[in-house]
């Protein structure tokens, strides 16, 4: 189970991965709750775990007089790296996202580009985290991770619902607990 909170950024996915993060001009926030289920552990005897996740999110767009709810369903692959008695995980998830109404950042980009919007878009979930219990040497917190998330919605350059431009990126911090 993961709880995340973050802000919209005015950078595309590639810029964020490259460290070029531009602050979004509006105060757009997201709070999300995701639940996952382990499908396969140590795939091909490699440190790879495969999960299926489902989630709900609340986009606080009060500055725009609109709040939006989202549902996501995606599969996610984790690469586990054990160093110095610590576990780091790099995760990549891919699936679908459906929102109750168009996100403001997507609407503005669509208007600027002369494009349309869609409630259903592709969803990417990119994470990097570490085991909080191991870091603090506190057994009761083991399998509790603290991390950074890029929450990304896009049409994959027009492949989903013919939306050529548009999409959103939210940079979040999260806490995840494995039960």
What are the pLDDT tens digits along the chain (179 aa)?
A: 999 999 999 877 777 878 878 888 788 899 999 999 999 999 999 999 999 999 999 999 866 667 899 999 999 999 999 998 899 999 999 999 999 988 888 888 777 777 777 888 899 999 999 999 999 989 999 999 999 999 999 876 655 655 666 678 999 999 999 98
CATH of the domain at 133: 2.40.160.20
Task: Give the largest Cα separation in the chain, rounded.
Answer: 54
CA–CA separation, 56 and 100 (whole Å): 11
End-to-end CA distance of the chain: 8
Cβ neighbour number for residue 126 with a 10 Å cutoff: 19
Beta strands in the chain (DSSP E): 2-8, 29-40, 48-61, 66-83, 86-99, 120-131, 144-154, 167-177
Using the 8-state DSSP alphabet, how is residue 175 labeled? E
Structural domain harbouring 47: 2-177
Count the domains in the chain.
1
pTM: 0.89
């Amino acid at each position: 189970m993961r709880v995340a909170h973050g802000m919209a950024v005015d950078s595309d996915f590639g810029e964020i991965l490259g460290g070029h993060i531009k602050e979004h001009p509006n105060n757009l926030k997201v709070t999300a709750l995701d639940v996952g289920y382990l499908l396969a552990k140590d795939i091909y005897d490699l440190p790879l775990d495969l999960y299926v996740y489902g989630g709900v999110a609340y986009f606080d767009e009060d500055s725009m007089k609109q709040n939006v709810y989202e549902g996501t369903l995606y599969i996610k692959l984790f690469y586990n790296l054990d160093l110095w008695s610590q576990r780091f995980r790099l995760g990549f998830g891919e699936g679908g996202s459906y929102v109750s109404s168009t996100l403001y950042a997507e609407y503005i980009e669509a208007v600027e580009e002369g494009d349309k919007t869609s409630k259903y878009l592709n969803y990417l979930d990119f994470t990097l985290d570490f085991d909080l219990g191991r870091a603090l040497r506190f057994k009761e917190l083991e399998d509790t991770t603290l991390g950074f998330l890029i929450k990304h919605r896009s049409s994959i350059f027009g492949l989903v619902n013919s939306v050529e431009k548009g999409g959103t990126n939210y940079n979040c911090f999260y806490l995840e607990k494995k039960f």
